[in-house]
Amino acid sequence: MWRGLWTLAAQAARGPRRLCTRRSSGAPAPGSGATIFALSSGQGRCGIAVIRTSGPSSGHALRILTAARDLPPARHASLRLLSDPRSGEPLDRALVLWFPGPRSFTGEDCVEFHVHGGPAVVSGVLQALGSVPGLRPAEAGEFTRRAFANGKLNLTEVEGLADLIHAETEAQRRQALRQLDGELGHLCCGWAETLTKALAHVEAYIDFGEDDNLEEGVLEQGGSTWWGRKTLISPQRLPSLSLFACLLSPTADMEVRALEVALGAHLRDARRGQRLRSGAHVVVTGPPNAGKSSLVNLLSRKPVSIVSPEPGTTRDVLETPVDLAGFPVLLSDTAGLREGVGLVEQEGVRRARERLEQADLILAMLDASDLASPSSCNFLATVVASVGAQSPSDSSQRLLLVLNKSDLLSPKGPGPRPDLPPHLLLSCLTGEGLDGLLEALRKELAAVCGDPSTGSPLLTRARHQHHLQGCLDALGHYKQSKDLALAAEALRVARGHLTQLTGGGGTEEILDIIFRDFCVGK
């Protein structure tokens, strides 16, 4: 949190950042014009608390609380005595930072008070600020909303900031930071520029075609005007799909085609970023008594499930969020798969199979000392074989086969069956093989969630996917349209989707949903 604030302060000090779709209108911060204040660090007793203000009266408030005529030097930490303006009573000796707009986080005049973190100090300073005319407490997310309204952050960066505040694992933090740094936004801006260029070509051609200087005979074929507009190109020489390749400059057309390919690749990747943001589904399955619940407890480091020598102990699906090798995971323990049991256990098995279908990664577990049993053979022939038979694609499930209870294998005796698919040996009892399993999980999860530190920025929300799909669909219409005006319209729709991705498209509901994720003071 603390480091985050310094980063934000440093970012603000670097001044306004360049991004083509930064928003400067259309999203007025609620009640903008007022100066807002809030505690921006966490609640409760702490070493240092940060209180900040944003708005035109920030400088005035700073002068009043420090009882000084002059403001401290901009963007430098200065030690000042803060006093209550009503009673003159000293409140705290604090570091104050003055960020005159527009070079601040919100783009407005801002002040940060770094005070001692006791509740009495914090409430004293908040009350003192509340007594300054023109100041009022901030609403949730209001600082960020003002930054957005003033073009300091685009919408994908706002989402990145929300994700960064909520990031619980290392991979989530990396992904959020990349988004906050504007990578997705930059990519969309570049794409939007490509479309603007293509649109300019088509529009220029529409105007050119309407130019009276063109000879009628050149423009018309057999008495009818092709696609309702005059053209210099004979339709016979045009293969239908590359119609506009002839109109656009070859580079502009190639760029539109490359854009289509890039959009397709990003969309194929779409679920990965979302999994990283909300957690990958990892489901532990296997025959009864393989040690599934023992593994869930081991991985989550807490007694989530009951472990007992009695087969059929777990009935309901038990779900627990865990950080596995830096990736956020929703780990599910399930009932052992077997047929011909009582009603309650049958329902457990049905729920287990249902959960298995939703898994991104299956941890298939067998008792290494019991591989010849009918339940083990059946499990290998059904669950393991069917997942192994899937062709590798983004939508297919991944599976790790784990042979538990390796401690029961005789050190001299023959190892597990030679015909088994690739597997890992583990003992939940002794912990042997756990490091190898964690390393294998890290690799699998990197494949399921994508590696947030490399490659192209991931789409972290369904909203991103929706707009990229919309853009791709519009490009499909563009390619197939036989009319210049329709082609231009399709390009405009495609570009509109990209603008909405970074700019929100002005709909207040979307903004409300996004800013709802923020706390007061952010």
Ligand X SMILES: Nc1nc2c(ncn2[C@@H]2O[C@H](COP(=O)(O)OP(=O)(O)OP(=O)(O)O)[C@@H](O)[C@H]2O)c(=O)[nH]1
Residues near ligand X (CB under 6 A) are 288-294, 307-309, 311-314, 336, 404-405, 407-408, 427-429
408 binds, among Mg ion, ligand X, K ion, none (CB under 5 to 8 A by kind): ligand X
Residue 296 or 487 with smaller CB distance to Mg ion: 296
- Beta-bridge partner residues of 228: none
Q: Compute CA 345 distance to the chain's CA centroid, rounded to the nearest angstrom.
A: 38
Q: Which does 405 bind (CB under 5 to 8 A by kind): Mg ion, K ion, ligand X, none?
A: ligand X
Site of tokens 């014009």: 33
End-to-end CA distance of the chain: 11
By C-beta, is 95 or 317 nearer to ligand X? 317
Q: Which is nearer to ligand X, 264 or 415 (CB)?
A: 415
Compute the Cα dihedral for 345, 350, 355, 359 and give only its sign: positive
Shortest spacing between CB 289 and K ion, in angstroms: 5
Bridge pairing between strands 327-333 and 361-367: unpaired
The residue with its CB nearest to ligand X is: 336
3-state class (DSSP) for residue 70: coil
Least separation in angstroms between residue 264's CB and ligand X is 42
Stated as kind and residue range, the H or E segment containing 440 is helix 434-449
Question: Within 233-327, where are the H helices?
Answer: 250-268, 270-278, 292-300
Question: Taking contact as CB under 5 A, which single stretch among the options 1-9, 186-194, 311-319, 464-472 is the one that binds Mg ion?
Answer: 311-319
Of 313 and 499, nearer to K ion (C-beta) is 313
| ∠ CA 104-109-112, rounded to 5° | 75
Q: How many residues belong to the chain? A: 522
Mask: binding to Mg ion, 260-299, rule CB under 5 A, as x and -?
--------------------------------xx------
Q: Which residue has the CB atom at the shortest distance from K ion?
A: 313
Residue whose CB is less far from Mg ion, 122 or 307: 307
- What is the nearest approach in angstroms of K ion to the Cβ of residue 370? 13
Compute the least distance from the CB of residue 296 to K ion, in Å.
12
**Nearer Cβ to Mg ion (202/307):** 307
Q: At its nearest, how many Å lie between ligand X and the CB of residue 335?
A: 6
* Rounded least distance, CB 332 to ligand X, Å: 12
135 with 151: CB under 8 angstroms?
no
Distances (CA, A) of 361 to 25, 196, 277: 44, 41, 16
Assign 3-class secondary structure to 341-386.
Answer: CCHHHHHHHHHHHHHHHCCCEEEEEEEHHHCCCHHHHHHHHHHHHH
Question: Residues near 391 by Cβ (< 8 Å), separated by ≥ 6?
Answer: none
Residue 257 tokens, joined? 């085609």
Q: How far is the CB of 366 from Mg ion (least distance, A)?
A: 14
Which C-beta is closer to ligand X: that of 113 or that of 379? 379
| Closest among 462, 353, 374, 366 to 406, alpha carbons compared | 366
Residues that bind K ion (CB under 5 A): 289, 308, 313
Laid out side by side, the sheet with 327-333 consists of 318-324, 327-333, 280-285, 361-367, 398-404, 424-425
Q: Which residues lie closer than 8 Å to 264 by C-beta, 6 or more apart? A: 472
Smallest gap from Cβ 383 to Mg ion, in A, equals 16
Least distance between ligand X and beta carbon 321 (Å): 19
When the beta carbons of 83 and 293 are compared against Mg ion, the nearer one is 293
- Residue 311 vs 416, nearer CB to K ion: 311
Which option in ligand X, Mg ion, K ion, none does residue 101 bind, with CB closer than 5 to 8 A by kind? none
Smallest distance, Å, CB 318 to Mg ion? 8
Among 179, 314, 332, 406, binds Mg ion (CB under 5 A): 314
Tokens of 147: 């930054």
**Residue with smaller CB distance to ligand X, 297 or 500:** 297
Q: How many CB atoms lie within 10 A of CB 391?
A: 6
- Footprint of Mg ion (CB under 5 A): 292-293, 313-314
